[in-house]
Amino acid sequence: MKKALVGLITVVLLLSIAYTPFQSAVEPQVSANEEGDELVQKLNQLINNDPLLAGALAGVSVRSADEGEIVYEHIADTRLRPASNMKLLTAAAALSVLGEDYRFKTELLSKGQQRGSVHHGDIYLKGYGDPTLMKEDFTNMAKALKKQGIKMIKGQLIADDSWYDDKRLSEDIVWNDESYYYGAQISALTASPNEDYDAGSVIVEVKSGKREGDKPEITLQPDNRYVKINNEAKTVGASDEKDIDIVREHGTNEITISGTIPLEATSSREWIAVWEPTQYAAALLQDSLADEGIKIHGGVKVGVAPEQTEVLFEQQSMPLKELLIPFMKLSNNTHAEILIKEMGKVVKNEGSWDAGLEVLANELKNWGVNQETTLLRDGSGISHVTLIPANELTKLLYEVQKESWFETYFQSLPVAGHPERMIGGTLRNRMKNSPAEGYVYAKTGSISTVSSLSGYVDNQSGERYVFSIVLNNMIDGSKGKIIEDKIATILAEQ
């Protein structure tokens, strides 16, 4: 009888253990005295139950902006791909290393002599990383030579991009990104099509022809002969389907336009990265010189300017504090990668990703970001190998509030629901008509299967939070924005 009773008790105990609910490793990491907090409960409810997060990883970290203590975290020490939230690190390091007033320059140099209207010798176009050069800047260079009385160059136009190394793409960029503006090649000498400053790219616009069956009208911004257009598209009837494809063939500057565009349909536009931006910049200057009536006898090539040269013209960019607006508001990848190489060049005299990322890591160490739990591979976050925990992102955001340049950094962040493009940025169409509208200042991020949002939020009680939301393994990364907006709104409502 006793043996039977002992056996029964043992079975009951084993069944009790077997059916104890399993506590997932991704349960919110909150201390016991926080469990009853309304904010914690709301965030737990959302993160643990929203079907959009089924099978995904949600790294969430929220700190007090005043004290820095963590008020909520969910797998916030797990390394996750940050996408463009990586730019928060790059921008902070650039402000610290280069300074708010830092400017890039571009020079026209000469080794020859001018006799009358003829310049005897080569002209060098030397780039120092300026991502803001546009067609009008090359026109100004040509006008400056014309003002000096030069009508002919008996020599070559030599493009010098030696300020950086010749590694054009970061090591993790995927093949189908490299022909688009967000995957443009990085060079110390490059050009942009407009004031968004998507360096190393051209804008291709396709408009319908005048009649059905006509080839569409194609325009380039800037207008140039460096890229070649193959127009294989066709204008179709007004009720037919619009299906335009604009693709650059790998390793070339041949852009093929195919498909159909209906009569009087809205135009199609694509930002296409050029192959070899150094030669692209030189070609724009060559065209500008021709427009000003200046002939080059020796043609154009890539080379290195000798040490002893005369400066004929110098172009300077806007200061970094102004460049940060299009960089961060519009999430410009080429700006991020240029800043990484520039930091490497300035600090270590090596304009490379390796040198720049080493400088970045040293800066992060100064702000207490844990080097042992981060993996940094680029400056923009386009890499699928870069890894950062949400808690390290909020640590950075908390610490940089103490820096003299913090206001510049803060003002560069997109603002939720603000309609102006250079204020609202990538958040201008999000969180409208919610408590978060106008009170969330944060960097967005998006690559395949990844969505992120990190920054600052002012709540209805007058308190500011520092937060980071990094979502990985999303089947549809765009759905992550729904989760991020819900979390940011919960924080704003407090």
Query: Active-site positions?
Result: 84, 87, 331
Helix (H, G, I), strand (E, B) or coil at 480: helix
Q: Using an 8 Å Cβ cutoff, are 159 and 278 in contact? A: yes
Beta-sheet strand order (sheet of 450-458) = 70-74, 57-64, 464-472, 450-458, 440-447
- Cα torsion angle, 130, 135, 141, 144, sign: negative
Neighbours of 234 (CB within 10 A): 17
**Gap between the Cα atoms of 101 and 401, Å rounded:** 19
- How far is the CA of 100 from the CAs of 146, 198, 315, in angstroms? 34, 21, 18
Q: Are 181 and 277 in contact (CB under 8 A)?
A: no
Residue 30 amino acid letter = V
Q: How far is CA 257 from CA 45, 204, 228, 247, 329, in A?
A: 49, 9, 11, 7, 30
Residues 342, 94: Cα–Cα separation, whole Å? 9
Quick check: helix, strand or coil at residue 440?
Answer: strand
Cα distance between residue 468 and residue 83, in whole Å:
12
Structure tokens at 113: 């002599």
Question: Which of 320, 341, 397 has the alpha carbon at shortest distance from 364?
Answer: 397
Q: Rounded distance, CA 453 to CA 77, Å?
A: 16
Omega within 30 of 0 (cis) for the link into 131: no
Alpha-carbon distance of 148 to 274, in angstroms, equals: 32
CA atoms within 13 A on the CB side of 284: 28
